[in-house]
Amino acid sequence: MDELEFRRILYADPNCTDKEVLAAIASDPKKQEFYKELKQLEKKMHQAAQIEVPDDLIHKLILRQTMESQKSSKVRNRMQLAMAASVAFVVGISFTMWQQNNLLDLSKQAIAHVHYEGGYALDARENVSLQRVNAKLAKFGGEFSEDIGRVYYANFCDFENVRSLHMVVEGEKGKVSVFIVPHNDDYLAEGSSSDKKYTSQATDLQRASIIVVGEEGAGINQMKEQLNKKIRFSI
């Protein structure tokens, strides 16, 4: 029995008594550990059975799984997406309980967003005028009072179901991604994060948060300070 078939059977019925399945568990320590974890998860599901699962939970899980799997090959990515869809119902209630006690960290989400897009925005070579940027920023009641340097890309994006502005601007030593996200009570609006490739900083302003993402040496701190001083929001 291969790994995929083994997992599919147990996802469908954690209490399966099929002889082939039981034999696979008995002969493989990894399968034993997976079986144990699945049983523990089933127990938690029973304990939390009264919690209502949001209608859009499966879609959010699939999107999150997609972002986290960008460094994998396309084949592995497709397998993970299929796995995420098949286990979404099983882990749904437990994930809901976790989400109630955790705010979405904008600094981490911004890095995930940059990975998810690949080079689409970062490879742009446009020369977006300050007027065009302010026309989009006006949707959030904001504007830049001064020039912010070369803008390679400026467009709206979906930031966890909140319409936000995504820009790519010229930093001191390379391109920097900038996100302007309207306030949301479910967000951790300030902080910093990093992974092997990118570093991000998020700042909470009057009506929105600014998150700056760049590679090491791109000068994201200077860019953050520059944008913070030049942006204005109407009351």
pLDDT of residue 231: 92
pLDDT digits (tens, 9 = 90+) for 60-81: 666 666 666 655 555 565 666 6
Rounded Cα–Cα distance for residues 68 and 61 (Å): 11
pLDDT digits (tens, 9 = 90+) for 161-216: 888 999 999 988 889 999 999 887 677 778 888 888 999 999 888 788 999 999 88
pLDDT of residue 100: 41
pLDDT digits (tens, 9 = 90+) for 86-113: 555 445 555 444 444 467 788 888 999 8
Across residues 107-136, what is the average pLDDT? 90
Task: Give 132's contacts (C-beta < 8 A, 6+ positions apart).
Answer: 154
pLDDT of residue 95: 47
Q: CA angle, 219 as apex, 165 and 154 as ends, to 5°?
A: 20
Region(s) of the chain under CATH 3.40.1000? 104-233
Torsion angle, alpha carbons of 63, 212, 201, 164, to 10: -50
pLDDT of residue 148: 92
Across residues 132-150, what is the average pLDDT? 92
pLDDT of residue 177: 94
pTM of the model: 0.56
Sign of CA dihedral 205, 210, 211, 217: negative
Pairing of strands 151-159, 162-170: antiparallel
Chosen CATH of 104-233 out of 3.40.1000, 3.30.70, 1.10.150, 2.30.30: 3.40.1000
* Alpha-carbon Rg for the chain in angstroms: 22
Tokens of 134: 């302010």
pLDDT digits (tens, 9 = 90+) for 46-59: 666 655 656 666 66
pLDDT of residue 81: 61
HSE (side-chain half, CA atoms, 13 Å) at 114: 25
pLDDT of residue 173: 82
User: 145 forms bridges with which residues in the sheet?
Assistant: none
pLDDT digits (tens, 9 = 90+) for 12-34: 777 777 788 788 878 888 878 87
Residue 159 has pLDDT above 90, yes or no: no
